[in-house]
Structure 1
């Protein structure tokens, strides 16, 4: 074997050993999971569930760090700029990855270039809810009520450009309701204002709205999933209510671009094992998600195909970039 071949083989062995060592040694300090929304919404509650469970299996504390603002863009920009060493990850949803690029002219990150998929762990249908005091039972009831007050009705979302916003605008356009969109910094505050009667309607994640629905403080009119939500079997889908709209959001974990592949694969495998157990599936249902669990490659394909569909929805909803 020539000296050049020996040197090349030695270099390859060093790289392999270094990679194996990094994988074996990780994690050797606490891990940060950035949740780009305020406490109380789906992103926050699922992040805290993952942090608790992953701390046990990884042997290091996983810390949730809430960084809300600009429909997740504040948190995403923070994670984009941290070292890609496997100690910072971000909880994302389809709003941050697929909708923001269509509703904001200037983006502080590129979801495909600045981040690496770890896993899509759940589908995230929304529920259209109103205060019981309105006495409304169906979407058509709400449409008739809003038409009587055309130009005077507001609807809440968990952020400008969020799936909550897009769904509200699609209904607005379909029925020509002339409603005004009121964006909030997260699902929790939006739901609180609907419960209090300050806003008459919102289409929100089931983690934030589920407790109020179960407690009789909100009336659900429809869900955005293709099938009825298991926890609300008597509530129709939007398609059953007469609207040919079928878009379900999703939740996922991502890493800064350049994070060691073996670390990404390890975390992906641990989350998949967690969400695919009977206990994990039930817990995610309690938090408004239908458990999935994908490999990083599968998550990348979901983004490539799904983001185009959300872009079309933004156009149909008549949302202009700002």
Structure 2
């Protein structure tokens, strides 16, 4: 009798589990169908005012328009985007905390930082790529060099005298500067900031000499006559500044662009990921976003969730040798 009772209990437990599984799946599907039914927190991993913040606000405004719910920007800056990325990684996987997927935190930091509070490959759900932007080299107005050859000659004649700002250790502007140092054979001091906006302020004040930054920020400063624009880091000249050369015209093979996407924590329900991805694609295809991206010098780079994760992994692999060769390491 005891054995029979045990069998019955196991059978009942099994049947209960089988009944519960469809119910759980059904609940997840309903949650995805109903999403979003309240405001969504969108973590931007850099401070207000910088290029990634500006582009994120453009996308979030359109997502709010499409869904009827507010996508509320929350800036969590610091440590090259790692502080904000950690907030995303540790959030509840319900679709109501998502945020910025960046080349800095998700492709550069795994090699640059000796220790991270998250695993870039395992602790996030890639949802979609959003944009690609080249970096742009700008200098303070009274900087003695006006071209890449002049800058290289000046830096070689004065090793360690000049400085370049970045939006933080491990960001794409930082890595661009390190790549320039390697390929040009120059010694320029790196000065990291907590985002682009404070770095811009110190260039305007003459505290640092130059900066490789995502093109939207330098474009506005250059058009306002506040900085000198030198060159872009893309393979070909950029339509926003067709009169400015590429660095590759003087250093063959020099090419690097920043990218941004949207991600959530690991274990987001697949149905919700697909819905989020489709919504971001729809947002990027609207005339409002297309025009705003063009004005900011950004290119639509939408990719599916699977391709987004693959792109991140490939970029990490591609950039790792450059980071290691630079000797840069953050403990």
Contact 2:134-2:233 within 8 A present in 1 as well: yes
Tell me which of 76, 79, 87 is aligned to 2:85.
76
Larger CA deviation: 277-286 vs 81-90: 277-286
Q: Which residue is 2:230 aligned to?
A: 221
Q: 2:255 pairs with 234, 246, 256, which one? A: 246
> Aligned partners of 2:250 and 2:290: how far apart in 1?
27
SS at match of 2:248: coil
C-alpha distance in 2, partners of 1:33/1:274? 15
Deviates further, 107-116 or 129-138:
129-138
Q: CA deviation at 1:14?
A: 2.5
Find the residue that maps to 2:234 and give its secondary structure: coil
Match of 2:8 in 1: none
Q: What is the TM-score of this pair, normalised by structure 1?
A: 0.93
Taking structure 2 as the reference length, what is the TM-score of the superposition?
Answer: 0.90
**Secondary structure of residue in 1 paired with 2:316:** helix
Q: CA-to-partner distance for each residue in 1:218-257, whole Å, 9 max, x for gaps? A: 2221111122111001111121123422222211110011
Q: Which residue of 2 aligns with 1:302?
A: 311
Deviations 1:120-169 (A, max 9, x none): 11112100111232253311111122233322111111111111111112
Give the C-alpha shift of residue 8 in structure 1: 8.0
Specify whether residues 48 and 8 from structure 1 end up closer, same or farther in structure 2 by C-alpha distance, changes over 3 A only: same
Identify the residue that residue 273 of structure 2 maps to in structure 1.
264
Is the 2:235–2:254 Cα contact (8 Å) retained in structure 1?
no
- Whether the aligned pair in 1 keeps the contact of 2:43 and 2:75 (CA below 8 Å) is yes
Length, aligned pairs only: 321
Number of the residue aligned with 2:34? 25
> Which structure is larger by alpha-carbon Rg, 1 or 2?
2
| Native 8 Å contact 2:93 2:268 kept in 1 | yes
Shift of 1:7: 7.2
Write the distance in 2 (CA, Å) between the matches of 1:91 and 1:4.
43
Residues 1:318 and 2:327 aligned together: yes
* Counterpart position of 1:64: 73
Classify 1:4/1:315 alpha carbon distance in 2 versus 1 (closer, same or farther; 3 Å).
Answer: closer
Which residue is 2:124 aligned to?
Answer: 115
Give, in whole Å, the separation in 2 of the partners of 1:274 and 1:135: 44
Which residue number in structure 2 is paired with residue 102 of structure 1? 111
The reply to whether residue 284 of structure 1 matches residue 300 of structure 2 is no
Distance 2:272 2:197 in 1: 33
Q: Residue in 2 aligned with 1:55?
A: 64
User: 1:197 matched to which residue of 2?
Assistant: 206
**Kept in 2: contact 1:37–1:68 (CA 8 A):** yes
Return the offset for 1:278. 4.1
**Structure 1 stretch displaced more, 77-86 or 112-121:** 77-86
- Deviation, 1:312, is 1.8
> For residue 9 of structure 2, what is the aligned residue in structure 1?
none
In the alignment, structure 2 segments of 5+ residues that lack a partner are: 1-11
- Partner Cα distance (1:189, 1:29) in 2: 33
1:301: how far off? 1.3
Q: How much is the aligned-residue C-alpha RMSD, in angstroms? A: 2.1
Matched, 1:209 2:218: yes
